[in-house]
Amino acid sequence: MSDSLAKITVSLPDNTSREYNKGVTPYEVALDIGEGLAKASLAAEVNGTLVDLSIPIEADASCKLLTVRDDESLDLIRHDTAHVLAEAAKELWPDIQVTIGPVIKDGFYYDFAREAPFTPEDLVALEDRMREIVDRDEPITREVWGRQEALEFFASIGESYKAEIVRDLSEDEVLTVYKQGKFVDLCRGPHLPSTGKLGTAFKLTRIAGAYWRGDSQNEMLQRVYGTAWASEKDLRSYLDRLEEAARRDHRRLGNEMDLFHIQEEATGSVFWHDQGWTLFRLIETYMRRRLEGNGYSEVKTPTLIDRSLWERSGHWDKFREHMFTAASEDRVLALKPMNCPGHVQIFRQGLKSYRDLPLRMAEFGACHRNEPSGALHGLMRVRAFTQDDAHIFCTEDQVNSETARFCELLLGIYKDFGFDDVIVKFADRPEVRAGTDETWQKAESALKHALDQTGLEYEVNPGEGAFYGPKLEFVLRDALGRDWQCGTLQVDFVLPERLEATYVGEDGSKHRPVMLHRAILGSFERFIGILIEHFGGRFPTWLAPTQAVVATITEAADDHAGTVHKALVSAGIRATLDVRNETVNYKIREHALKKVPVIVVVGSREAEDGTVSLRWRGEKKQEILALDQAVDKLSALSMAPA
C-alpha cells in the first residue's frame, strides 16, 4: 500500500473513531461528520494541540473540532481580530508598519509604527474597514517560508520590525506566515479558515503608547487596544462591565468621596484626606486585632538600611533597579522595598530555642519601590506603600500546621471584607532564583504537601515563585468578576541561610529556621483601591469612614440634632452633624454622593417626638424610630466583624 493510501484512526470526543487516509485534514473530518459541523468549525485540537483546519493529520490522533461555542475558540477569534485590525491599518495608511499583535485578557492589541498619532476618529475608520474585511470573507492561508525569503519579503515592503523579528528567531524555528487578501503577517498561528468566521462582535477601545519590545530605550509605538467576543450579546455584556468599572474607578470615587489624591510633586505617593485616612486606620485596626488574636507580635523596622544588608540578602542583585537609594558619609543606603531582611535581624537578636518557634512577626511596613512612572495607576500601583507583611520562623515540621493556620486566617479576613470567591495558585521555581535546585525541591515539596493538607483546591502557576522560594497566591474575585492577586505565602530556606538565622534545637545544636513570608492584603493602598471598586464606594457600615450624618430640615431642629449626634458618637458611631442653612434635599444629595450609609433626618416633628427619620443609602423609604432604638440599630450595624 502506498503511503498516500495508508489508513489512520481519528478518535473523536464522543468516544467514537473514524478511519481516514493519512493526511486527512480536520476540515475533511468535520465535512465527513456533517456539512453543518464543517461550516461551524473554526479550528481543531489534534492530540491536544490547537491547529488550523487545513493541517494534515499524519498518524493516529485524537481530534476535537472547535466551534464558536467552545471556550478555546475565544482566543482564536481575538487573535484573528488583531490580524484584521492590522490589515485594516495597512489599507487605510499604506506606509504604516505593523509590529506585534497578541491576545490579552478580554481582548487584543496591535502595535503600530506611524508618524501621525492615532485619533478617536481613526479608531472609527479602522473599525469600519475591519467590518468590510469581515464581509469580504477572505480565506486565511498558512505558508512555511525560508528565513531568507521572509527577510527579503518584509524588507521589500518596508516592514523593518517584522524583519527584525525574523532575524532574532532561532535557526531551527519553523517560520510561518499567514495571508488574508493582500495582507501577509508573520505568525505561528493557528487561525480561522477565513475572515468571515469572525462575525462583528468586536470593538476598538483605546489608544496608548508602547515601547518596541517593552524596552524604554527603543522607539515609541502606538498601541491600539480592542476586544472581541463570540457573540454580540457577550460583547454588549463586556462593554456594560467596562462602563460599570468606569463608574467604580477608585480614582474617580476617591475624588468624589474626598478620600485621597495624588499629585505630580509626589509621583506614586498618596495624599490621604481625613475620610481616606479613617478608612486606612479602620483596616489597620481590624488587621491588628486579627493578627494579635492569631499569635503575631507586631514589630517596626527601619525604612532606610545600608546596602550591605541588601547585598547579603540577595535583594541588591535582584531588586536594585527598583530601589531608591541615598548617600550619607560615604555609605549607600536604600529605602526598603520589603521587610524580610529587617525581620531576620530582629530574630537574630538573642538566642532562640525550638521552644520559641513558631515565632510570628508582623509589621505594617512603609516600603518604597521605584516603579516606572508609566506603570503607576492610582492606588493600584504606587511607589510608596504600607505592606501588610509578616514572617513566621518555624521548624520544618511546623510548615504544615502554620500553612493551614494562615489559610484559615486569610480566608476569614477576606470573607469579612466581602470576598467569598478566592482562587489559590501554587507558584513554583522561577528561571532567575536564589538557592540550589536541591533547596528548591525541598521547599516546593514542603509547601505542596502543606497545601494538600489544607484540602483547598488550587491551580499551578509554573515559574512564578519568588526568587527565594515557592509561594501560594491568593486571588480575589470582585463584584465585577475581575481577579486581584493579593495574599501570598512563601516557603524560604534561602534567606535564613544567607543572613545566618539560627535556633537551638532539642539536640542542643544550631539549626536554620524555615521562614514563611506571608501577606494577606498585600499593600493597604492597593487593597483599599480594590475595596473601593468592589463596593463602588458603598462600603458596609462597619467600614464606612462616616457611618451616619445627622441632617436638619429646619433651624428649629438644631438642638435635637445636636442631642442625636452626641448620642450616636457616644455609642461609638462615626457620625457628623449637618445644620447648614441648606434644603434637606440638597444635603441628602451631597451626602449620598459621598456614599454615607445612613442619613439621620431631623425636623420639627422629630424634635417634638424625640424621634429620628433614617434614610438608608439606596432606599427611598424612610424609617422613623425613637432615638434610643435608632442608636441601638446603628450600633449593631457599625461594629467591625468579630
Kindly report the pTM of this predicted structure.
Answer: 0.85
- Asked whether residue 186 carries a pLDDT value surpassing 90, the answer given is yes
Beta bridge partners of 575: 548
pLDDT digits 0-9 by tens, 74-101: 999 999 999 999 999 999 999 999 999 9
Identify the DSSP state of 430.
-
pLDDT confidence of residue 4: 56
Catalytic residue chosen out of the listed positions 360, 517, 560, 565: 517
**pLDDT score at 172:** 79
Query: Which band of pLDDT confidence, cut at 50, 70 and 90, is reported for residue 136?
Result: very high
Active-site choice (122, 185, 389, 492): 389
Burial of 629 (0-12, 13-18, 19+ CB in 10 A): middle
Position 483 pLDDT exceeds 70? yes
Would the pLDDT of 516 be above 50? yes
**213-235: b (≥16 Cβ within 10 Å) or e:** beeeeeeebbbbbbbbbbeeeeb
Give the model's pLDDT for residue 430: 86
DSSP-H helix ranges across 356-418: 399-416
- CB 609, CB 627: distance < 8 Å: no
In the residue annotation, 471 being an active-site residue is answered as: yes
Please state the φ and ψ torsions of residue 109, each to the nearest 5 degrees. -150, 165
Q: Assess contact for 531 and 417: CB atoms under 8 A.
A: yes
Please identify which of the residues 129, 162, 318, 391 carries the catalytic annotation: 391
587 has pLDDT over 90: yes
Catalytic, out of 83, 336, 343, 471: 471
1 pLDDT above the threshold of 50: no
What is the distance in angstroms between the CA of the first residue and the CA of the last residue of the chain? 78
Each residue's pLDDT tens digit, 418-461: 999 999 999 988 887 877 888 888 888 888 888 888 889 999 99
Question: According to the model, what pLDDT value does residue 372 have?
Answer: 87
Q: Could you say which of 369, 518, 526, 534 is catalytic?
A: 369
Catalytic site residue 633? no
C-alpha cell at 78: 481575538
| Model confidence pLDDT, tens digit, residues 222-270 | 999 999 999 999 999 999 999 999 999 999 999 999 999 999 999 999 9
Active-site residue flag, 95:
no
The catalytically annotated residue of 80, 97, 251, 340 is: 340
What's the mean pLDDT when you consider all of the chain?
Answer: 93
Q: Which of 45-54, 290-299, 444-453, 566-575 has the lowest mean pLDDT?
A: 444-453
> Would residue 250 show up in a list of annotated catalytic residues for this protein?
no
pLDDT at 169: 87
369 has catalytic annotation: yes
**Is 340 annotated in the active site?**
yes
**Catalytic pick from 97, 180, 275, 387?**
387
Q: What is the pLDDT of residue 123?
A: 96
Work out whether the CA dihedral 561, 564, 568, 570 comes out positive or negative: positive
Cell of 529: 483601591
CA dihedral (125, 131, 132, 137) in degrees, to 10, reads 150
